[in-house]
């Protein structure tokens, strides 16, 4: 799984500076972080709608869109996807309730 995500991450990073008329990644990157974040939100909502409709195929497609756009947002902030995977590894075996309780309070 990491190989697929690493390849996607590399492709996104390479295409961010491409010609926006020839690359969706470059076109979205040129619109800025707010637009990228908006797309993450839209795809998340569409994934939820697919799940609530019990539409497995649509959920798969929307989930792929969500991961893609999240990776776009991470690239915009220069956050490697491995940092997210490392955080998931860190949380492995820790109760979700205990993990949340250990977070710093705002």
Mean residue pLDDT across the chain: 93
Q: Where are the beta strands (DSSP E) in 2-59?
A: none
Q: What is the pLDDT of residues 70-105, one digit of tens each?
A: 999 999 999 999 999 999 998 888 787 877 788 787
Q: Dihedral of the CA atoms 86, 92, 12, 27 (nearest 10)? A: -120
Confidence of residue 1 (pLDDT cuts 50, 70, 90): low
Query: Any idea which fold 2-80 has?
Result: Helix Hairpins (1.10.287)
**Domain assignments of the chain as residue spans, ordered by start:** 2-80
Looking at the chain, the number of H-run helices and the number of E-run strands are 6, 0
Q: What is the pLDDT of residues 53-70, one digit of tens each?
A: 999 999 999 999 999 999
């Amino acid at each position: 799984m990491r190989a697929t995500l690493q390849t996607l991450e590399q492709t996104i990073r390479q295409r961010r500076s491409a010609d926006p008329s020839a690359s969706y990644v470059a076109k979205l990157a040129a619109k800025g972080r707010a637009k990228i974040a908006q797309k993450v939100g839209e795809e998340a909502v569409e994934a939820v709608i697919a799940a609530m409709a019990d539409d497995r195929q649509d959920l798969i497609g929307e989930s792929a869109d969500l991961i893609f756009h999240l990776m776009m947002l991470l690239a915009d902030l220069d956050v490697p996807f491995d940092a997210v995977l490392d955080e998931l590894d860190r949380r492995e075996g820790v109760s979700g309730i205990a993990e949340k309780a250990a977070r710093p309070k705002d």
